[in-house]
Amino acid sequence: MSRAHFLRLSGLALLTSSLLAPAAASAAGGGEDPPEDVVPPVLSVSPLPDDAWHNTGLTYRVRAVDEGPLATGVSVVTYRLTGANVGSGQLDRVAGGDIWIGGDGITRVEVEAVDGNGNSAYADFQVRIDRAVPVVVYEGLKPGVTIPLGGDARWDYSCADATGPGVSGLAECTGDLPSGSVLPATTVGDFSLAVRARDKAGNTIVSPFVYHVVDGLRATAPPKITGTPSLGSVLTGTPAEFSPAPDTTGCQWLRDGAPIPGATAHLRTVEQDDLGHNLALRCTAQRAGFPGASATSEPLPVPLAPMPDVVADVAVSGEGRVGQTLTAGYQRRPSLAASAPTLTVRWTRDGVEIPGATGTTYAVSAADQGHRLSAFVRAEWEGYVTTDFPAANGIDVAPAPGGGPGKPGGPTTDQGDRASASVTARGKALSHRRVRLRIRVVAGPLPADGEVVVRRGRAVVATGYVRAGRIVLTLRRQPVGKARYRVRYLGSASVAPAETVLRVRVR
């Protein structure tokens, strides 16, 4: 006859007791059956099962022994897993074996040991595993938020256990400040708080909360302008970036620092009025509770455009004698633009502009004797390089009887008898499209005096008089970029003309 012994204790069972047959009954009556093994095996489980939650997998060591004078020995040991982990198996009947529980959740473990006479022992217990870390939820303000100095921003948070098969439940949710507190904002700077969450299995997370206190909106990246600054081209403005994120952002194009009416789009088509000026983009941001902020891009110089051929056929006519009147004529070409250039006729003596001599007519005077008179038309137009259009011819004025050039009674000098001159020039680019030229003229070892003319292309950009062999000229409103200047010394009664060329990058 076989016996079974099963003991369940508070959701887990560990069977170590035995059932003993009454010895007196077996001894009475001599005709009874011989005694048999009625004691079930003894099961041991290590570690002892409990009702706690664990945050790691567990291995249980199970062993069964069958002892006593009538023991028949352990015949078989089996187990079955149900719930979060599912499986079954058989352990060594002598040495026992290990049962591994690794999956999250609640697993029921049932173990049975049977001896040779069919007596059974059982173990029945539960294993609780939760390896998921709980979460911290920030409500409203998020980590990295920027708040104004002296603000009253609330810090709200909550904690929750992770979802899934193994949920042990939340055991702790505490922060450096209670949820609902006002974040300290009495000092500008970066600050950090933390919230600690722990579940019943011991899984813990510490969630940092960094925030920034500023005294207003601040630009983290200035506006930028891309594109080629030339007439008719399209420039693209990239707005500035601000922190914290503004509620609204608006941009305004500037010309030499002054707002351009109606120019608030991100794209800007370069107009004639922009030529020769600096364009910039200014962006302004607004956010509730913060003072406004603005940022301006680097200025973008828009170079002057080359002057188109607005005049043609410039020529002078008349008789080169004192008292006679010379006339300058030209053909004005029509302009397709809304505006038109300003044209002025200016007269020259030996290539040097005569001060105050403007207009289409010129009266020959005694100072012109022995010189060559001519004229040029100066075209001035907003946005374009001021350009001189010279006459194709000139009028020679006869010298005074018995006198030299412009000096009655003075000696005459042929160019072949004059000393050779040497001209040197150095250029330096200054700010605001200015160029400084240092010019030196020598005739042999000696400094020379006389007039110099500086041209850029066909345009006369400066004139001056060299004294003691030196002169410094400042050129203004020069086109931005590489420039080639020709410096010509006009010579004197004793020194022949000479010239040199230099290059300057105008900025």
Per-residue pLDDT tens digits for 349-380: 988 889 899 999 999 998 899 899 999 999 99
pLDDT given for residue 9 in this prediction: 34
Residue range 65-83: average pLDDT? 93
Question: What is the pLDDT confidence band of residue 29, given thresholds at 50, 70 and 90?
Answer: very low
Q: Which residues have a Cβ under 8 Å from the Cβ of 180 and sit 6 or more positions away? A: 154, 155, 156
Could you give the CA distance from residue 73 to residue 133 in angstroms, rounded to a whole number? 47
**pTM across the whole model:** 0.46
Mean pLDDT of the residues in the chain: 86
- The confidence band for 333, taking pLDDT boundaries of 50, 70 and 90, is confident
For residues 55 and 129, is the Cβ–Cβ distance under 8 A? Answer: yes
53-54 and 459-466 strand pairing: unpaired
Residue 349's CB: how many other CB atoms inside 10 A? 20
Closest by CA position to 138, among listed 120, 123, 151, 156: 156
324: exposed, middle or buried (Cβ count in 10 Å: 0-12, 13-18, 19+): middle
Residue range 60-86: mean pLDDT, rounded: 94
Q: Of the candidates 91, 32, 31, which has an alpha carbon nearest to the alpha carbon of residue 59?
A: 91
Alpha carbon distances (Å) from 433 to 104, 235, 303, 304, 379: 77, 22, 9, 10, 19
Which CA distances in Å does 436 have to 63, 114, 200, 241?
104, 112, 83, 40
Report the distance separating Cα 186 and Cα 38, nearest Å. 82
pLDDT at 20 over 60: no
User: How far is Cα 134 from Cα 173, in angstroms, rounded to an integer?
Assistant: 10
Q: Answer yes or no: is pLDDT of 174 > 60.
A: yes
Average pLDDT over residues 461-484: 89
